[in-house]
Amino acid sequence: MSSSFYRVSTANMYDATLRNLSARQKTLVDLQENLTAGKRVVRPSDDPVAAAQAERALTRISRIQTEQRALDVQRNAIAQAESTLGDAVGLVQEIRQLVVAAGGGALKPEDRKTYANQIQSLREQLTEVINRKDTNGIPLLGALGSALEPFTGPLLSNPDYLFAGLPGQAASGGTSIPTTVDGHAALMFDPVRDGVYTATVTRGAGSSLVTSAITTSNREALDGAQYALAVNTVTVDPVAGTTVVDYTLTKTAKDGTVTTSNVTTAPVKTGQPIPITINEGPDTVMSFSLTGTPAAGDSVALQPSSSLMGTIDSAIRGITDATDSVAASQAVGQALSNIDAGMERLHNMRGYAGELLNRADRITGDQDKRSIQLEGDRSRAEDLDMVQGISDFQNASVGYEAALKSYAQVQRLSLFNFIS
């Protein structure tokens, strides 16, 4: 029976052992680095795919943070615009109350002028409010772009107030809202969109004519034309107890074309309002009524109102120039109707601004959810399971310690220890 003898080179044994020890030490150091960093992927070479996923998630999170900072600026601007519209509503409500008070039948002309001065002061405050700017000097009601002061007036020309900008409302994006509100839609009247008209009465001898508020319809056919009604005769039938008014209607179109027609109203019970309708072809475009006692020589001018501020100025002039309660009643009635139309526009745009703020809140909520999702994606790609990491580190530490001890014990063994 033969025996086989093998000899392992001492140097080779030492080299192999040291390589194993170095590998264990590197593994232990890497695990320690992972634990201290809290990451499974410390450098891209650890796991290129996971590192790419984590980097993509971090890039998207950074973009969301940038979009959110921009949204905060936009939200602040719209909040200021909404507050500005609220201040404008408050001022117009005060003006309306003063206009109502100025229509009192027992007031003297001096009393009405006092009310007119108070309204004038509030109108000047309103002009200041609607031209407010944000912290960057951009008009809050600048629509799609405007001059530093979007609203200019009163002017000597017609219209007496102008919007020095581009009307329209900027659209919201998926992660953004506009920074301005359409001031033109809030404060300016459009003949086709709004159809706001003012009736100015010039009374003849013995007249107490007052008109009702103007109602417009089929505004595309109306197209902002001006009308003048001149009363020719007023016929009262004492037997039937009716009144008939014959008048001449003059129309001035936007292009300057002038047309006239003679109209006779249907008999109406004396003392009752006399309805007036103005037609363009088959369409009725304007209607109102004559109250009081009309007389030959009366005239009524029907002109489109350009803006809420122009309406207020017309009220100031009418109240100031009113010589009696009839004239004051005419000025107040027209002003209240048109102020209410302007208030509706203001409320609509203020509601829109409030909806933009709600939209900003919804965008913020959506962005928060996306950030949480992306943070989860990043964490799954590169973060370390601390329980598993500690367990792996302890196992590697025990293994490295055992390898060191075994290496030390083997190193102490030598054949010469057994040779006497």
In a domain, 1, yes or no: no
Q: Say if residue 319 is in the same domain as residue 397.
A: no
Residues 219 and 285 sit within 8 Å (Cβ to Cβ): yes
Q: Say if residue 274 is in the same domain as residue 310.
A: no
The 10s digit of each residue's pLDDT in 44-80 is: 877 888 888 888 999 999 999 999 999 999 999 999 9
Q: Say if residue 284 is in the same domain as residue 346.
A: no
In a domain, 166, yes or no: yes
In a domain, 82, yes or no: yes
Q: Say if residue 258 is in the same domain as residue 217.
A: yes
Instruction: Name the pTM for this structure.
Output: 0.80
Number of structural domains found in the chain:
3
In a domain, 407, yes or no: yes
Q: Say if residue 326 is in the same domain as residue 182.
A: yes
Q: Say if residue 184 is in the same domain as residue 311.
A: yes
Q: Say if residue 104 is in the same domain as residue 42.
A: no
Q: Say if residue 185 is in the same domain as residue 75.
A: yes
- For 54, the domain range is 10-64+384-413
The 10s digit of each residue's pLDDT in 169-219 is: 999 999 999 999 999 999 999 988 999 999 999 999 889 999 999 999 999
Q: Say if residue 178 is in the same domain as residue 313.
A: yes
In a domain, 312, yes or no: yes
Q: Prior bond to 267 cis, omega within 30?
A: no
Which residues lie below 8 Å from residue 220, measured CB to CB, with a gap of 6+? 192
The 10s digit of each residue's pLDDT in 134-155 is: 988 999 999 999 899 999 988 8
Residues 320 and 130 sit within 8 Å (Cβ to Cβ): no
Q: Say if residue 375 is in the same domain as residue 242.
A: no
Q: Say if residue 56 is in the same domain as residue 77.
A: no
| C-alpha–C-alpha distance, residues 404 and 24, integer Å | 10
Residues in the chain: 420
Q: Say if residue 334 is in the same domain as residue 395.
A: no
